[in-house]
Amino acid sequence: MGPELLAPAGNWDKLHVALRFGADAVYVGGKVFGLRKYAENFTNPELEAAVQRVHEASKKIYVVLNGFAHDSDLRALIPHLDFLNDIRPDAVIVSDWAVAERVLHHTDIPLHVSTQASVTHWRAAKRWVNLGAKRVILARETSLQDCQSIKDHVDTELEVFIHGAMCASYSGKCVISNYSAGRDSNRGGCVQSCRHSYHLHTPTQSDDRYMMNARDLMAIDWVQSAIEVGITSFKIEGRMKSTHYVANACHVYRQALTALSQLPPHTPLSDTLRQSYADQLSRVSNRTFSGGGFNDLRDSINTQDGGTQKSRQLLGLVQFQHQNRSLIESRSPFRVGQSIRVFTPLGETECQVTSLWDIHNRPIEQANPGALVWMPGSWVSGDVICC
């Protein structure tokens, strides 16, 4: 059995898309104790339904509790742990020692150590394992050599990030937002101040530049080496990213893992295949890419701009199909006569919009954002419409 492909699920649509496009497991946040306060996240009834949905698919679901707690946060923790113990997720992801101790004492849910805990060497990993952790999610600054050392010294599951946004601070522990916006990054309030342009003044120069804007991580070139190290789980970042991003990243890395599993040991992917995967990952919104801690961190900052690039625009998500028509939840405008692409687990198919109907079955010329529209085609719930 190969390594796990773990995908972000910031809401119900992303959870569904992640499972459809090849994820073995998803990670989700509730309304408390996660590090994405401004994501949609899941209410308790939604968490319960999500656990049931994922388990029905014979896959796994992990709940994040990875914020750094203050006393006021801890008061509400035990009731939340009681609820999680009842609905039975496959693990909780924790960075705070006090939260970890309460998870271990009040539940029998497996404990995974968050990347926020900044584990970069085997002694720290061993301490967490001795406490009771079943898996350690390594700091994003960890090299493959460090991964190998940890694996050699500690008998535990290791998880690493392979794709998504990076942070200029150490393992995401940052207080710029606290000072600039009064929002605590380590309790889910980051406003991404690092993405802004700053005026730099030195004795020799004075200009505006992006000093802390981290490129996104793309580790397609290092997947094989990480497999050989013995990494258990490959994690895609992005609970606040689009459904298209989740579908695309899951699709590419599932293809890569499948291709590698069919090759003899230690045989790399062909240059042509690796380039095709990199090209597909680059289509969806990104801040240019680097290898992060797998390569040279000096290459991980984009000093030229703070924006994103992409060659695909998300238009909508298939919700339902009936009698050769598909119901689309529109995310961006598209109209009759326009060329679109339908992205499924089998790949992209280009077609033209020949007709559109509103939810009341009346012909329309354009689908507007937020609308539910019918379109010719027998696609499956979770397929992605883009251009």
What per-residue confidence (pLDDT) applies to 37?
57
Q: Determine the length of the chain.
A: 387
CA–CA dist 111, 319 (Å, integer): 34
What per-residue confidence (pLDDT) applies to 316?
97
What per-residue confidence (pLDDT) applies to 38?
56
pLDDT in tens, 176-190: 778 878 887 766 678
Q: Is the pLDDT of residue 136 over 80?
A: yes
CA–CA dist 367, 358 (Å, integer): 8
Query: Beta partners for 328?
Result: 318, 373
In the CATH scheme, what is the code of domain 4-299?
3.20.20.70
> What percent of the chain lies above the pLDDT cut of 90?
74
Give the CATH class of 314-386: mainly beta
314-386 and 4-299 share a CATH fold: no
The burial of 320, by beta-carbon neighbours within 10 Å (0-12 exposed, 13-18 middle, 19 or more buried), is given as middle
What per-residue confidence (pLDDT) applies to 206?
77
Residue 148: CA count within 13 A, CB half-sphere: 9
Query: Beta partners for 235?
Result: 6, 161
Tokens for 302? 């984009």
Mean pLDDT of 125-140: 97
Each domain of the chain, given as residue ranges in start order, spans 4-299, 314-386
Host H or E run for residue 319: strand 314-322
pLDDT in tens, 196-207: 788 877 788 777
What per-residue confidence (pLDDT) applies to 355?
97
Mean pLDDT of 252-274: 95
Mean pLDDT of 15-22: 98
Q: Is the pLDDT of residue 301 over 60?
A: yes
Q: How confident is the model at residue 54 (pLDDT cuts 50, 70, 90)?
A: very high
What per-residue confidence (pLDDT) applies to 34?
65
Query: Beta partners for 208?
Result: 199
Q: How confident is the model at residue 128 (pLDDT cuts 50, 70, 90)?
A: very high
Q: How confident is the model at residue 102 (pLDDT cuts 50, 70, 90)?
A: very high
Q: What is the overall mean pLDDT for the chain?
A: 92
What per-residue confidence (pLDDT) applies to 212?
81
The sign of the dihedral angle between the CA atoms of 37, 40, 43, 47 is negative
Q: Is the pLDDT of residue 122 over 70?
A: yes
What per-residue confidence (pLDDT) applies to 184?
76
Q: Is the pLDDT of residue 297 over 80?
A: no
196-235 residues labelled b (16+ CB within 10 A) or e (exposed): eeeeeeeeeeeeeebebbbbbbbbbebbbbbbebebbbbb
- With both helix axes pointing from N to C terminus, report the angle between 243-261 and 12-20 in degrees, rounded to the nearest 10: 20
CA–CA dist 17, 7 (Å, integer): 10
Mean pLDDT of 43-61: 97
